[in-house]
Amino acid sequence: MLCPYCEYGMVLRAYIKDTDKKIYICEECDTVWEEIISDETGVGFAKYMEKIGRCGSWDEIEVI
């Protein structure tokens, strides 16, 4: 599915390593969703990772 924010990147399913959290993330603009994917529910990757106490590196996630 195309990202509803940037309309360019693909939305990928991923999980955050060492946790049970699963997310959706745009490969282009790094917008993150936990569940419903829309242009009203996403948050930036760095902000999301900071909120859960992580540094915000793509090394911390695994695309599934």
By percentage, how much of the chain surpasses pLDDT 70? 100
The pLDDT assigned to 33 comes to 98
Domain span at residue 18? Answer: 11-63
Domain presence at residue 2: no
Whether residue 49 is contained in a domain is answered as yes
CA–CA separation, 9 vs 51, rounded Å?
Answer: 24
**Res. 11 pLDDT band, cuts 50 70 90:** very high
> What's the confidence (pLDDT) of residue 46?
96
Total domains in the chain come to 1
Closest by CA to 61, choosing from 28, 36, 24, is 24
Q: Is position 6 within any domain?
A: no
Residue 23 token pair:
């997310």
Mean pLDDT calculated for residue range 27-31: 97
Residue 20 counted as domain residue: yes
* Whole-number Cα distances in Å, 7 to 2, 22, 44: 6, 22, 15
Phi, psi of 45, deg, nearest 5: -55, -50
Q: What is the pTM of this model?
A: 0.91
Is residue 3 domain-resident? no
